[in-house]
Structure 1
């Protein structure tokens, strides 16, 4: 559940699903991030960048497992996608 000051694994999966990413039931934060970065396109990358930016600039606390998944999976994939476009 999303709490005003806490972002947990369920929140991450919910936000990714809300953006249109399909996640397997019971996925971990890391598995969800792996699914989200498969076959990145410009609209998907833009949506992910916006989600991560919102999470990191909000006053909410991102639980360590969620932060680690974002930093290990999403951020490198987005950086790679941007460098491939240049």
Structure 2
């Protein structure tokens, strides 16, 4: 049997923070996505497009809230 870790809101936030985006602890996936998109629009975020592409290929192992935020805010803007 194979066990897969789901990508939850904390994982999503941690990956964005690793790119240098300042996001408060406990922020919702929607807030994380909005803040990432805003930062990208203001000054650019190296690696964000690659991360979004990577996560876009992992939709099936995301919690619904993370998937919704990714699909609503980041995928359309960074494809």
Establish whether TM, by shorter chain, passes 0.5. Answer: yes
Please report the TM-score for the alignment, with normalisation by the length of structure 1.
0.71
Q: Contact 1:5–1:60 at 8 Å: present in 2 too?
A: no
Equivalent-residue separation in structure 2 for 1:49 and 1:58 (angstroms): 15
Please report the TM-score for the alignment, with normalisation by the length of structure 2.
0.77
| Alignment size in residue pairs | 76
Partner residue of 1:72? 72
Q: Unaligned stretches of 5+ in structure 2?
A: none
The aligned runs of 1:1-86 (5 Å cut-off) are 4-40=4-40, 43-44=44-45, 47-58=47-58, 61-78=61-78
SS in 2 for 1:6: coil
Q: Unaligned stretches of 5+ in structure 1?
A: 80-86
Shift of 1:4: 4.9
The list of structure 1 runs, each at least 4 consecutive aligned residues, that deviate by more than 3 angstroms after superposition, is none
